[in-house]
Structure 1
Amino acid sequence: MVAEDTPQFKEAVRQEEQRLRLLHPTPDSIPSCMSLFDDLISCNTVGRQFRSLYRFGEMAHCSGKYTDWKFCLSVKGLHEEQRRDAWTRNRAEWWARRRLGASSESVWDLRSEKLQDYPKAVAFDKAPDTFFE
């Protein structure tokens, strides 16, 4: 879990808000509550659940889609520019938590120099044209 009061988190939220404002420049460009509801319903379909079970060995988790839909309903009464700002802030915080949280990338060390002698040259006892004889 990421501490949301750290400067690192606040900076990540600021960067994400800036990115989302470029991606969604108008209030009409953010998803509607109906499209979020469609995403929620499609997540709970039998086909989606079987696909998730086959691919990942567990049922699909739709709680994030429910949270998005519920948030959309909570800001539906706001003026469209305020709704866009609230949606942008909510998504920016979600992306910041995802960016700063644990991921498979934190397992690997970034290599600053190229490996020496990689890949290793293979020495053959035979000439290449006689490999399959």
Structure 2
Amino acid sequence: MGWLWSSSSQPPPQEEQPTAPSLEAPAAPTAQQASTPNDPADTQLQEFLQLIHTAGDESSKPPSSSSPPTTTPSKDTKPSVLSWLSQKATAAANNKPDEAPILDPLSESLLPTEMSCAQTFELAWSCSSLGGQFMSMYRHGNMRECSENWDDFWFCMRTRAYSGPVKADLIKQHYRNKAYRKYGGDKPSSEDVWERRTEKVPLGSAFSTPLPVTEEEVSAARERMREEERKASIRDAENI
């Protein structure tokens, strides 16, 4: 049985191993290829960094002693946010209406001295909403301008820190200017239809004048009272 453990004297033929292909080192990318980004975000980053370097170089240059350079704005140059805000602020300042004159004592006493910021916001928001504009189209046939409502809200927010007579005077001036813009000068107002009151109505005197009553109305009222008494007597008899 020794032949089971015997081994051949000749070694087995070795299998030829496949030769690996020679790997050549890739050529180093050129400077142009390395600096060219493939991602659009990288392109924006490169432009941003270049803009920073350009601004730094311009700020580091000393000003020349000669005449100051005059720069002409290009048509393609987009206005910055600060310039846009300054233009809006200047336009708002130029469009600011003049202060309304002081009214007569009766009209001055009717001007409001209080203002609710929550109420003004709700009015402005409802006016600007889709439902508010739909209601305006349904009632008036056109879109409604809501700038006046938002002006009331922002005025209330600016004056909420004040108190006492100072705040009351500011609110009165605000409503005085609103009335002057609508009805001041030669603009049409309700005074074209009826005369305004020159004095306040005494307390308790409103709707106190008796109406003229005719004989027919008196007899009709008596007939109604008799009918009510007759119905009441019938109900009492049924309950007994």
- Matched letter for residue 103 of structure 1: P
Q: How does 1:99-110 map to 2 (within 5 A)?
A: 99-101=183-185, 102-103=187-188
Q: In 2, are the aligned partners of 1:13 and 1:93 still within 8 Å (CA)?
A: no
Q: Post-superposition shift, 1:74?
A: 1.1
CA distance in 1, matches of 2:167, 2:159: 6
- Counterpart residue number, 1:35: 119
SS at match of 1:61: coil
Higher relative helix content: 1
1:81 to 151, 154, 165: 165
Please say which structure displays the higher CA radius of gyration: 2
- Percentage of pairs with the same residue: 25
2:146 equivalent to 1:62: yes
Judged with a 3 Å threshold, the aligned counterparts in structure 2 of structure 1 residues 39 and 109 are, in CA distance, closer, same or farther, namely: closer
1:72 to 156, 162, 169: 156
SS at match of 1:82: helix
Q: CA RMSD in A?
A: 3.1
- Counterpart residue number, 1:119: none
* Unmatched 5+ stretches in structure 1: 25-29, 111-133
CA distance in 1, matches of 2:125, 2:164: 25
1:18 to 109, 118, 130: 109
Relative contact order, higher structure (CA 8 A, sep 6+): 1
Q: In 1, are the aligned partners of 2:124 and 2:150 still within 8 Å (CA)?
A: yes
Q: Post-superposition shift, 1:18?
A: 2.6
Q: In 1, are the aligned partners of 2:117 and 2:153 still within 8 Å (CA)?
A: yes
2:180 to 54, 78, 96: 96
- Matched letter for residue 62 of structure 1: C
Judged with a 3 Å threshold, the aligned counterparts in structure 2 of structure 1 residues 88 and 67 are, in CA distance, closer, same or farther, namely: same
SS at match of 1:77: coil
Q: Post-superposition shift, 1:79?
A: 2.0
After the TM superposition, list the runs of 4 or more consecutive aligned residues in structure 1 that deviate by more than 4 angstroms. none
CA distance in 1, matches of 2:105, 2:153: 23
How many residues in Structure 1 have an aligned counterpart in Structure 2?
97
CA distance in 2, matches of 1:105, 1:4: 23
Q: Post-superposition shift, 1:31?
A: 2.4
CA distance in 1, matches of 2:104, 2:182: 11
CA distance in 2, matches of 1:109, 1:17: 21
Q: Post-superposition shift, 1:105?
A: 6.8
Q: In 2, are the aligned partners of 1:13 and 1:96 still within 8 Å (CA)?
A: no
SS at match of 1:73: helix
- Counterpart residue number, 1:124: none
CA distance in 2, matches of 1:98, 1:4: 13
Q: In 2, are the aligned partners of 1:16 and 1:95 still within 8 Å (CA)?
A: no
- Matched letter for residue 17 of structure 1: E
TM-score if structure 2 supplies the norm length? Answer: 0.34
Q: Post-superposition shift, 1:81?
A: 3.1
